Amino acid sequence: MGRKRSMMSDSLKEEIAKELGFYDKVEKDGWGGISGRDAGNMVKRAIQMAEEQMVNNQQ
């Protein structure tokens, strides 16, 4: 069974990981090395960024 393709670009994932402070772990262990909590925080931040962009586009 194959892995699902990511909905986020690699550059966005890197940006969020740097912002949240665990990009060093990604560099060392790859994306599979992050915790479930870190992954969840990435998703929350990506949603927040998308919502902010939607608000800005409506103005």
Digit-coded pLDDT (tens) for 6-30: 788 999 999 999 999 999 999 999 9
How high does pLDDT run on average in the chain?
Answer: 92
Q: Tell me 33's DSSP state.
A: G
Q: How far apart are CA 34 and CA 58, in angstroms?
A: 35
State both tokens at 46. 């990506």
Tally the C-alpha atoms within 13 A of residue 11's C-alpha that lie toward its C-beta.
0
Q: Which of 36, 37, 35, 45 is nearest to 13 (CA)?
A: 45
CA distances from 14 to 18, 41, 59 (A): 6, 13, 28
Determine the pLDDT at residue 52: 95
